[in-house]
Structure 1
Amino acid sequence: MSFESLGLSEPLLKTIAEQNYTQPYPIQEAAIPAILKGNDVLGIAKTGSGKTASFVLPILELFQNKPAAANRHISALILVPTRELAVQVGVVFQTFGERLPRKVKTMAVYGGVSINPQMIGLQGVEILVATPGRLLDLLSYKALNISQTQILVLDEADKMLNLGFAEEMKDIFFLLPKNRQSILFSATLGDEIDQINKTQLKDPVRIEIEEEEQHIDQIKQTAYFVDPDRRGPLLRYLIKTQEMQQVLVFVSATRTADNLVEKLNKNGIQAMAMHSKKSQGARTEALNKFKSGKLTVLVATDLVARGIDIQFLPYVINFELPRSPKDYVHRIGRTGRAEASGQAISLICPEDVHHFKIIQKKMGKQVEMFESYDLELMGY
């Protein structure tokens, strides 16, 4: 199936081609026509399956035939769990909307930055990408109105619930009109997601994309046994000897992230940290540099990992293991996305061995293990 067959107009198709999208992913094949028809959609798909474009493209297409709403009345609302994802989705809207005859103003709003510029910037906005908390802040200041919103998208709804946004989401649902088109995307379908489906969606088109096993199989996983005091030198050894140009390193704590970045930079490896204690400006700068290839290493904690979406990321390294097997799969899933191959490397200290065995058992996949004790790490 081609993008031409999905009902999108020529200006959008030209931009799609310019962005090197050759053919739609399964979630896009199913969701785009359903959204264009005005149906509610329930999409169960893993991160990295191409779902952002699956709602951005049809929403932009629909807006070509919609009159502009009154100022500060939001016509399409996209709720997301994190600041990074808000920025990312906002950029996708702006990129695909660039060639359209009717210009549609899009804006991303999120916490962690001053609210005043956002309140001013909402002039003329028709499509708003927002985190739940900041949206409610703006509503409390009467900076916008969602009483006539025509389209609601809940992106990564399971993550929003996991981050404790359930009450905020209920408050937002109460303020939205009953008669609207609702689109819900989630990586999983639990009881809470099912409840939102039943109460907020009307006879939705259900789309379920099972890609996790295939996705993991595309990732070459390896691990190295290492003593704790040799873990830093081993990381630098791997980056330098394998000539890694773009590597995402995961740690468990913000202090570890900052210390690791300091050591990497001292050893001639460009690195920046991205975690919850960094300002939004610092996080955005680090992510932009990393995505553009100007930064070799991005060191991140799990809290901000969901917003890191890079289509062709070649390497992920677990400097420290996550707490759960699910988080491990999510981490390594930053590479090998959307049919691209990738490598995931884990550094396993003696106290990690048992936990790593559990991760492999839950994942249903054996990871190739290497000894590092015979590696000469002096000078790294």
Structure 2
Amino acid sequence: MSFTSLKLPVPLSKGIEKDHYKKPYPIQEKAIPAIIDGNDVLAIAKTGSGKTASYVLPILVKEADRKTTRNRFVTSLILVPTRELANQVLEVFLQFSPYLNHPPKAMAVFGGASINPQMKKMIGTQILIATPGRLIELADKNAVHLDDVKTLVLDEADKMLNMGFRKELDQILTLLPKRRQNLLFSATLSNDIKSMDRLILSNPITIKIEEKEATVDLIKQSAYKVTEERKGPFLRYLIKHLELKQVMVFTSSIHKADSVAEKLNKNGIHAKAIHGKKSQFARIEGLKNFKSGKLPVLVTTDLLSRGIDIEFLPHVINYELPRSPKDFIHRIGRTGRAENPGEAISLITEKEDHHFQVIMKKMKRSIELQETESINLHGY
């Protein structure tokens, strides 16, 4: 199936194919026509399955056909749990909107950044991507009005509910018109999601994309036994020896992320650390440069093990293990996405060995620890 068969305008379809998207992913095949036809949709699909474009493309089509709306009255609202995801969704809108004759204006708003510039940029905005708390702040200041919203999207709804946004979501729903199209996207179908489904969706089309084992198999895993003292030098050895051009390194703390990035730079490896204590500008720039290939190494915490969408990330390194097997899966799941192969490398000390074996058992995997004592790390 091609994008031209999904009820998308020809210029948009050609633009998508020009961007080297050969064919739609399964969720896009099912969701795009359903959304264009005006149906409510409940879509269950894991991160990295192409879900963002599955609602971005039909919303662009709908907004391009709409007449100019009242100022500060947005007509499409996308709610997301984090500022990182807000920026990623905005990037997808900005990527495809130039292919339309009359591209609608889209913007992202979130906390942790000054509210005044966001208020000023709201003028003329049709598509708004927002975190719940900042949206409520803007609505309270009359900087944005939700009376004209025609399409509501809850993206990563499971994560929003897990992060305690239920009260804010309920408040936002009271500000929206009762007649609207509702799209709910989630990685899991939990009881909370079922409750939200009954609350906001009307006769929805349910789309569930099952995760294939082959996706997991795309991730080549390896693990190395190292002492704590040799971990840093061995990380630098791996990056240089294997000539890794784009690698995400996970640590268990903010302090360690900063320390690892600092030592990488001192040893001639361009790296940046991003985490919750970095400024919003630093985080956005770091992600942007990493995704574009300008920054070869990004060091981070589990803040980014979910949500970040880098389609062709080839390597992930666990400098330290996460607390749970689930977090380990989320980490290595940043690679091997969207049918692209990837490699996940774990550095394991003697203290971490038991925890690593527990993680492997949960994953029903067996990975042999490779010895590193004989490797000369002098100069690394």
State the TM-score, normalized to the length of structure 2: 0.98
Q: Which residue of 1 aligns with 2:314?
A: 314
CA distance in 2, matches of 1:246, 1:213: 25
| Segment of structure 1 superposing worse, 268-277 or 9-18 | 9-18
Q: Please say if residues 3 and 24 of structure 1, whose CA atoms lie closer than 8 Å, have aligned partners that are also in contact.
A: yes
Report what 1:92 is aligned to: 92
Distance apart, 1:306 and its partner CA: 3.0
- The residue that corresponds to 1:73 in the other structure is 73
Residues of 2 paired with 1:306 and 1:115: CA distance? 26
Aligned to 1:343: 343
Q: CA deviation at 1:363?
A: 1.5
The equivalent of 2:276 in structure 1 is 276
Give CA deviations for 1:54-94 in whole Å, capped at 9, x if unaligned: 00001111223222221111100001111111111111112
Q: What letter is aligned with 2:228?
A: P
Q: Give the equivalent residue in structure 1 for 2:195.
A: 195
Task: Give yes or no for contact 1:221–1:368 (8 Å, CA) kept in 2.
Answer: no
Find the counterpart in structure 1 of residue 263 from structure 2. 263
Structural RMSD (CA): 1.1
The equivalences for 1:1-380 within 5 A come to 1-211=1-211, 213-380=213-380
Contact 1:104 1:127 in 2 (8 A): yes
CA contact (8 A) 1:85 1:306 kept: no
Identity %: 58
Letter in 2 for 1:277: K
Aligned 8 A contact 2:60 2:103 in 1: no
SS of corresponding position for 1:64: helix
Cα distance in 2 between the residues matched to 1:316 and 1:205: 36
Structure 1 segments unaligned to the other structure (5+ residues): none
Cα distance, 1:307 vs. partner? 4.3
CA contact (8 A) 1:158 1:186 kept: yes
Q: Displacement of 1:346 after TM fit? A: 0.6
Deviation per residue, 1:267-310 (Å, 9 max, x gap): 10000001000000011111111111111110011113434321
With normalisation by structure 1, the TM-score equals 0.98
Q: How many pairs align?
A: 380
Contact kept, 8 Å, 1:276 with 1:304, in 2: the verdict is: no
Structure 2: 5+ residue runs without aligned partners?
none
For 1:252 and 1:68, the matched residues in 2 are separated by 48
Q: CA deviation at 1:228?
A: 1.1
Contact 1:83 1:307 in 2 (8 A): no
Task: Output the amino acid matched with 2:109.
Answer: V
Q: Distance in 2 between matches of 1:169 and 1:225?
A: 46
Q: Secondary structure at the match of 2:145?
A: coil
